[in-house]
Structure 1
Amino acid sequence: MKIIGLTGGIASGKSTVAQHLGALGAVIVDADAISRALSQPGGSMYNAIMHTFGPEYRAENGQLDRKKLGACVFADPAQLAKLNAISHPLIRAEIGRQIAQAREGGAPAVIIDAPVLLESGMQDMVQEVWLAVLPVEEQISRVMARDGATKDAAQARIAAQWPLEEKKKYADVCIDTSGTIADTCRIVDKIWIERVQNSGNGAEKNE
């Protein structure tokens, strides 16, 4: 079984790539979905966030106020580092559990879909890093359209992650997502055949 880390900036088309890889037969381990589950009331991440950041980040319905927390951490690198120190170890442990489950199920490949795969040091859990690549100006436009964000807010969110050129240093595969969804899927099909179907699974990393 091949273990692949899929990453990319905000609104880079990474989710489109992940969905298509799932259709090709890969098991998708979604780091964002894991984060959301762990940060539900009573979850380990939720409790740690309330302890560290305070009850003002609890919404009226008891849920984590993600918008307020996001505004805090994306505006202050020190606060983002505090949040990452809470979230990354918990997410990493759950990813390891899901990889083991996929192995038992005989999956040909596991895709760890993680926007901060590199920033959080999770590349040591994978055999290859695949990077969704999009020009920054197009990325800003997509964030503004998708989230209703201002240009400044979109730029701040993008700046909170590593620059694209830095991520490319760690990437085994760069996937151009600047075209249509159909274009992206054709590119992914070719990469899947070359690097998964025809390459063998290779040695796995320890979780």
Structure 2
Amino acid sequence: MSAPPAPPPPRRLGLTGSIGAGKSTVAALLRERGLTVLDADAEARAVTQDPAALAEIEAAFPGVVRGGVLDRAALAEAAFADPARLARLNAITHPRVRARMLALEQAAATRGERWIVQDVPLLFEGGLDAQMDAVLVVDAPLDLRLARVTARSGLTAQEVLARDVRQMPAEEKRKRATFVLDNSGDLAGLERQVDAALAGLGIQLPAVSGQQEESPSQS
């Protein structure tokens, strides 16, 4: 007896935005509406807890792994100052992150989900927008984004700007978006924009909200 056919892959809704724009807030709203959100940052953190990945990172960036634990601040200082070194780090981590995201996507397909959200900070910079069926870009004015990040992180405005300039300009992201969510107002206004975007894409929300994605490493 032949095996049943594999379920069709869900369609991909990319979610991205510049630092401080409110991407995490939108991700939470999408989860509340019952959509599975795959968080590339969370999967990247999981990857850097894997002994094999840690060994490669330590070999490329001596001293950033201490007692079997990654010193993220030291790694950022070592990698982000040099494009070549950043490319080396990405070569170690990105294939592993993609594999984890694909496993989560396949699990969503098995559950019969028609759409999944891929929350990827550097979606356009990494060329991953080409793999999406639609893209939501969250945006807000630069001064508001700076105020948000400095208030929550302890970073200075100069440090936030240094990170922001390494990303694609917000205006270019807006041009490439399927829908732009303006997060310069209140939460209710943002929710209305999210609902309008989902309706515009014809996304039918599950009857039960609050669904959470499961990592391949979890039971």
| TM-score for both structures, normalised by structure 2 | 0.82
Q: Percent identity?
A: 37
Matching residue within 48, 54, 60 for 1:46: 54
Q: What code does the residue aligned with 1:45 have?
A: A
Aligned counterpart in structure 2 of residue 161 of structure 1, from 161, 167, 189: 167
How many residues end up aligned between the 2 structures? 195
In 2, Cα distance between equivalents of 1:137 and 1:73: 27
* 1:161 partner amino acid: Q
Alignment correspondent of 1:58: 65
Q: Structure 2 regions of 5+ residues with no counterpart?
A: 1-9, 205-219
Matched residues in 2 for 1:166 and 1:45: separation? 33
Please give the secondary structure, in 1, of the residue aligned with 2:70: coil
Deviation at 1:18, TM superposition (A): 0.8
Equivalence for 1:25:
34
The answer to which of 31-40 and 82-91 deviates more is 82-91
Q: Does residue 122 of structure 1 match 2:131?
A: no
CA contact (8 A) 2:61 2:78 kept: no
Partner of 2:80: 74
- Hey, what's the Cα distance between the residues in 2 that align with 1:81 and 1:135? 29
Whether 2:43 is the aligned partner of 1:34: answer yes
Question: How far is the alpha carbon of 1:8 from its aligned partner?
Answer: 0.8
Instruction: Name the residue aligned to 2:215.
Output: none
CA drift of 1:2 comes to: 2.6
Is residue 2:191 matched to residue 1:185? yes
Structure of higher CA gyration radius: 2
SS in 1 for 2:136: strand
CA separation in 2, counterparts of 1:195 and 1:117? 19
Instruction: State the distance in 1 between where 2:133 and 2:108 align.
Output: 15
Counterpart CA distance in 2 for 1:45 and 1:178 is 39
CA distance in 2, matches of 1:167, 1:87: 24
Question: Counting helix residues as a fraction of each chain, which structure ranks higher?
Answer: 1
* Mapped contact 1:6–1:131 kept (Cα < 8 A): yes
Which of 102, 106, 117 is 1:100 aligned to?
106
Deviations 1:91-135 (A, max 9, x none): 122212211111111123200001011112222321111111111
SS at match of 2:98: helix
Q: Distance in 1 between matches of 2:149 and 2:17?
A: 13
Gaps of 5+ in 1: 199-207
SS, match of residue 10 in structure 1: coil
